[in-house]
Amino acid sequence: MSNLRFVLASNNKGKLKEMREILAELGIEVMSQKEAGIASEPEEDGTTFEENAIIKARAAMEASGLPAIADDSGIAVDALNGEPGIYSARYGDCGSDEERVEYLLKNMENEEHRAAKFVSSIAVAFPNGDVLTTLGECHGTLTYAPIGENGFGYDPIFYMEQFGRTLAQVSAEEKNSVSHRGRALRAMKEKLTEYFKENTIC
């Protein structure tokens, strides 16, 4: 498969970079919504990461007429009964990643049990109605303060023992090798490879 264009149902530069790096191996060019000339903002009223990813992928596909890929991801903290979960991107009604991180740390202020996981569901919606989905998880613990300048979102407070660092302190290659989105993307890459063998996509 070569020169196939997908629309990413997002303008998030971090997500776009990660998806481009992994899907380029299949000859897939990934464009942001802005680059595709669309402004899809569907209501994410699903109850799971997978449902929301499908909603976003289908909306971008319908708006562009091209295959669309979407990610719905977030952080789930054991001590907070899985919160913020699917509400990670709008946690505490905060306006920036930094504010959301600060809000989460405040809610964990007196908590010693700091286990958490990142969860990512990726959906690809094709104009013929077919939908593929995958799920990836990444386990770690929350730090008491942000550390590191790389990554985005909650990366600066997500510590991984295998690195001895947070996800905001590792390289893009290291992060992609273990991250929830990296795992979901590699699983999607395998699904797409099989899908392309069985279907002709123009």
CA distance 83 to 86: 8
Return the bridge partners of 73, or none.
120
Task: Give the model's pLDDT for residue 160.
Answer: 94
Q: Which amino acid is at 25?
A: E
Active site residues: 72
CA distance 74 to 89: 7
Task: Give the model's pLDDT for residue 1.
Answer: 43
Q: Domains in the chain and their CATH numbers?
A: 4-198 (3.90.950.10)
Question: Other C-beta atoms within 10 Å of 155: how many?
Answer: 24
Find, among 33, 23, 56, the residue nearest to 196 by Cα. 23
Question: Other C-beta atoms within 10 Å of 47: how many?
Answer: 9
Helices marked H in the chain: 13-23, 33-36, 49-64, 97-107, 172-178, 180-198
Both structure tokens of 123: 């959906």
Task: Give the model's pLDDT for residue 201.
Answer: 65
> pLDDT digit of tens for each residue in the chain (202 aa)?
446 899 999 888 878 888 898 889 889 999 999 999 998 788 888 999 999 999 999 999 999 999 999 999 999 999 999 999 999 988 999 989 999 999 999 999 989 999 999 999 999 999 999 999 999 999 999 999 999 998 789 999 999 999 999 999 999 888 888 889 889 999 999 999 999 998 876 5
Task: Give the model's pLDDT for residue 79.
Answer: 97
Q: Which amino acid is at 111?
A: E
Contact 141, 116 (CB under 8 A): yes
Task: Give the model's pLDDT for residue 191.
Answer: 96
Find, among 161, 116, 120, 163, the residue nearest to 141 by Cα. 116
Contact 104, 157 (CB under 8 A): yes
